[in-house]
A and B are shown apart, each in its own frame.
Chain A
Amino acid sequence: MTESGFRSAEDLPEGVSGHLANLILALADNKRLLGIRYSDWILGAPSVEAGIACSAMAQDEWGHARILYAMLRDFGHDPSALEHERASDEYHSSELLDRDVASWEEFLALNFLWDTALSVQFEMLVESRYEPIHYKVRKLLEEERFHFDHGQGWTSRLLSAEGGRVALAEAFGAAWNACLRGFGPDDDPLSGTLAAHGIVRRDAAGARARWLERVGPVAAETGLARDAGSEWVSTREPVWEDRWLARRRAVEGGPDEDSLARVRGDRNRELLMD
C-alpha cells in the first residue's frame, strides 16, 4: 500500500473526520466505563491475584481512555468537557456497561467478550492512515493481550465444572447480541466509510468476523459460535430491533446514575484544576 497517511484530522477527506471522531469517542467511553467495571471487582474477585489483575486492567482501561479523549482535541473537541460534563445519553458506550454486573460470570462476559470486541476495533486501526492513532495502538494491544488471557483463563476454569459452565453460558448468552451489534450493521456507514479510506482495515462485517475468530473457540463451548470450516460464525443472528443508534454505537440509554457519577468523577469535581 502506497497511500499516504494523514497527520491530523484537518487533512482527512470530506465526511471522514466526523465518523472517526465518533468511533474514537465510542472507544474512549467504552474503555472508561469498562475500567470502572474492572475496578468493581478489585476487592470481590475470587482470589487476591484475580483482584490484582482487575486493578491492573482497570488502570490499563483508564489509561487508554485518557489517551483517546485527549486525541479528540485534534477534532475540535474539548477533552475535559467530554470527560466530565456530559449527560448519560451522550455516552457512546455499550449497554453492557450501563450498570454494574452482579456475578463473576457476567464480569467475564465483559472481560472476555466485550473487551476483546474493543481490542478487535483497535486491531483494525493498527495500520490506520490516520497516523496519530496508529502510533498509540500497538502498546495498547500489548496490554490487552493479558486482558484476553485473563478472560480466557477464567472461562476455561469455569467451563471445567458443570455448574460453572451453565452460569457462564447464561452470562455469555445475555451479552452476546450486544457484542455482535457493537460493530454496527453490515451496511454501517461509519465503518464502511472509514474502511474505504484506509482509516480502519475492515468494515463492520469484517471486524465482527475477526471477533468471532478470536472468541469463537471458547464461545463454541457455550453454544454461541461454531467452526464453519474457513471461519467462526455466530449461531445466532444479531437482533437489531430495539433502537440501535449508529451515533451511540449501542442502543438508546446510557450509564445509570451511579455509573455516570463515577465515570465523570463528580465526587472529585471540586478538586479539578482549571
Chain B
Amino acid sequence: MSGNGQVYEVFARKKRADRFEHVGAVSAPNEQLARVYAWQTYDEAKWFEMTVAPRDAFAAVNRPQAPFTLGDPGGRAPADSR
C-alpha cells in the first residue's frame, strides 16, 4: 500500500428520488479519511447522500480491464492512474 493508501470511488445523489451518480474518486489511507476527502472534494452540490467504496471492491463484468480505469465521460480524471 502506498503512502496515500487506496483509491475510493465516490457516489452521490442530490435527492432521495435520484439514483446515485458516480461523481469521482479520492485516494485515502483509510475509510474514515476517504469519507472526509470525498465530502470536502466533491462539494459542488448540496448532496442528500454520499457514499464511498474501495475501487478494489468493484468487479469487472464485461471487460477485462479493472473498472474505473478506462476514463470517465464526465471528464474527471481518475484520482489514481497507477
B39: chain A residues within 8 A (beta carbon): 146
Q: Which of B3, B32, B37, B41 contacts A152 (CB 8 A)?
A: B32
Judge whether B40 is part of the interface by a CB distance below 8 angstroms. Answer: yes
Contacts A49-B28, A52-B40, A56-B40 given; does A153 touch B3 at CB 8 Å: no
Who on chain B is nearest to A156 by CB?
B30
Q: How far is the CB of A212 from chain B (nearest CB, A)?
A: 21
Q: Are A46 and B3 in contact (CB under 8 A)?
A: yes
Q: How far is the CB of A108 from chain B (nearest CB, A)?
A: 12
Q: How far is the CB of B65 from chain A (nearest CB, A)?
A: 24
Q: How far is the CB of A263 from chain B (nearest CB, A)?
A: 23
Q: Are A56 and B27 in contact (CB under 8 A)?
A: no
Q: How far is the CB of B39 from chain A (nearest CB, A)?
A: 6
Q: Are B27 and A52 in contact (CB under 8 A)?
A: no
CB under 8 Å from chain A, chain B span 42-78: 43
Q: How large is the interface on A (under 10, 10 to 19, 20 to 34, 35 or more residues)?
A: 10 to 19
Judge whether A150 is part of the interface by a CB distance below 8 angstroms. Answer: yes
Q: How far is the CA of A41 from the CA of B54 in the complex (A)?
A: 26
Q: How far is the CA of A131 from the CA of B41 in the complex (A)?
A: 33
Who on chain A is nearest to B28 by CB?
A49
Judge whether A86 is part of the interface by a CB distance below 8 angstroms. Answer: no
A156: chain B residues within 8 A (beta carbon): 30, 32
Q: How far is the CB of A159 from chain B (nearest CB, A)?
A: 11
Q: Are A47 and B36 in contact (CB under 8 A)?
A: no
B4: chain A residues within 8 A (beta carbon): 46-47, 49
Q: Which of B3, B29, B35, B41 contacts A149 (CB 8 A)?
A: B35
Judge whether A53 is part of the interface by a CB distance below 8 angstroms. Answer: yes
A154: chain B residues within 8 A (beta carbon): 29, 33
Q: Are A47 and B27 in contact (CB under 8 A)?
A: yes
Q: Which of A55, A56, A57, A153 contacts B33 (CB 8 A)?
A: A153
11 A-B residue pairs with Cβ-Cβ distance under 8 Å, sorted by A, are A46-B3, A49-B4, A49-B26, A49-B37, A49-B41, A49-B79, A55-B40, A149-B33, A152-B32, A156-B30, A157-B29
